[in-house]
């Protein structure tokens, strides 16, 4: 059997619950794919702050850098909320992982399943046929620029280099080549200089891919069109802040943020895989969390980092079949809990 190493970061809130059920499902398909996975569990986020005083230790970062993939649950919660810039915050661990592993492209697929069309706040006819991918630049922009306070003023700086824009644009165009060959680049070029550079570079990259249709769209218009005509989008590529906001907005097309997976990729094979939803501390420990987004994130891990695309297909098909047969969590108006959903998925995979 082929051996791989995965660092598991269960994190905070419902993170450990959804990770546990997902690993159960992965083990079934991995065995059939002759894949032997060694899971190494580590602390990251608020739980790491409690033990080590920092959201991400150097030792955990080194383990992640040496792994074949990193599988993350969720981080954060009211316990660690603070506006004091001198105090550690769980999200710093996530930013540190992205930077330390050089993960510059975040991929978030959005494909509402027919069984859940009525769970979306949008009409059936509006979401039907939607199958889009948000490619978000992950290690630049305002989240990584200079920031601080000066008396009663505060500042956050958005900076992008040509190389940073070019590499994430190439990821988007490569993804579109295997899909419907359309890229929508989102910026605010009518106001921001960083966005004008973004549009300039993406246009240059697009010229190298004449088979791909390129559309430039301002971020405020993109936010409206995601609701008005989501099925028209194929691949959306945008900078860090805009991508963070738009990908969460797109979650509502599926009916629940609890169904959106994500992959964060860099220049190598290793990536970071996590559900889009947060730590949901209000339901942590109640057994109510829906693990399906985490299972779908594991499918992305199998496909992009662990070289097992057939196993990834099995996980995705099992999620769709389970939903078609009524395996709905409370986030979708159903009654099944975390373990019950995991049991349904594992039963389908074990057939």
Between helix 309-324 and helix 15-32 the angle, nearest 10°, is 120
Question: DSSP assignment, residue 302?
Answer: H
User: What is the rounded CA–CA span in Å between residue 227 and residue 93?
Assistant: 32
Tokens of 187: 């910026």
Q: 235 and 111 in contact (C-beta within 8 Å)?
A: no
Q: Which helix (H) or strand (E) holds 109?
A: strand 105-110
User: What is the rounded CA–CA span in Å between residue 330 and residue 221?
Assistant: 33
Buried b (16+ CB within 10 A) or exposed e, 232-242: ebbbbbbbbbb
110: which strand partners? 132
Question: DSSP assignment, residue 328?
Answer: -
- φ/ψ of residue 13, rounded to 5: 55, -125
Question: DSSP assignment, residue 288?
Answer: -
Q: Point out the residues that are catalytic.
A: 143, 188, 220, 244, 248
Cβ contacts of residue 184 below 8 Å, gap of 6+?
215, 216, 217, 222, 233, 234, 235, 236, 237
């Amino acid at each position: 059997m082929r051996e791989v190493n995965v660092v598991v970061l269960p994190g905070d809130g419902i993170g450990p619950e959804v990770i546990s059920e997902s690993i159960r499902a992965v083990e079934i398909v991995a065995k059939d794919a002759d894949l032997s996975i060694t899971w190494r569990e580590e602390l990251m986020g608020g739980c790491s702050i409690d033990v080590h005083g920092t959201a991400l230790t150097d030792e955990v970062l080194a383990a992640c850098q040496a792994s074949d993939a990193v599988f993350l649950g969720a981080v954060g919660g009211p316990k660690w909320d603070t506006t004091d810039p001198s105090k550690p915050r769980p999200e710093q661990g996530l930013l540190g992982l992205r930077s330390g592993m050089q993960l510059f492209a975040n991929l978030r697929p959005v494909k509402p399943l027919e069984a859940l069309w009525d769970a979306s706040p949008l009409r059936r006819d509006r979401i039907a046929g939607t199958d889009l991918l948000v490619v978000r630049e992950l290690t630049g922009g305002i989240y990584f620029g200079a920031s601080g306070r000066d008396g009663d003023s505060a500042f956050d700086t958005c900076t992008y280099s040509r190389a940073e824009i070019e590499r994430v644009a190439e990821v988007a165009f490569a993804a579109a080549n295997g899909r419907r060959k359309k890229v929508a680049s989102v910026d605010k070029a009518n106001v921001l200089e960083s966005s004008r550079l973004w549009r300039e570079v993406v246009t240059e990259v697009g010229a190298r891919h004449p088979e791909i249709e390129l559309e430039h769209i301002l971020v405020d218009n993109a936010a409206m069109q995601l609701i008005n005509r989501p099925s028209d989008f194929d691949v959306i590529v945008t900078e860090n802040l805009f991508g963070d906001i738009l990908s969460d907005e797109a979650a509502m097309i599926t009916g629940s943020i609890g169904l959106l997976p994500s992959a964060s990729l860099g220049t190598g094979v290793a990536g970071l895989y996590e559900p889009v939803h947060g730590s949901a501390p209000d339901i942590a420990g109640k057994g109510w969390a829906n693990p399906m987004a985490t299972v779908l994130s594991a499918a992305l891990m199998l496909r992009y980092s662990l070289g097992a695309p057939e196993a990834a297909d099995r996980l995705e098909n099992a999620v769709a079949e389970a939903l078609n047969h009524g395996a709905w969590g409370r986030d979708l108006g159903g009654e099944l809990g975390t373990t019950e959903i995991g049991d349904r998925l594992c039963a389908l995979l074990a057939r």
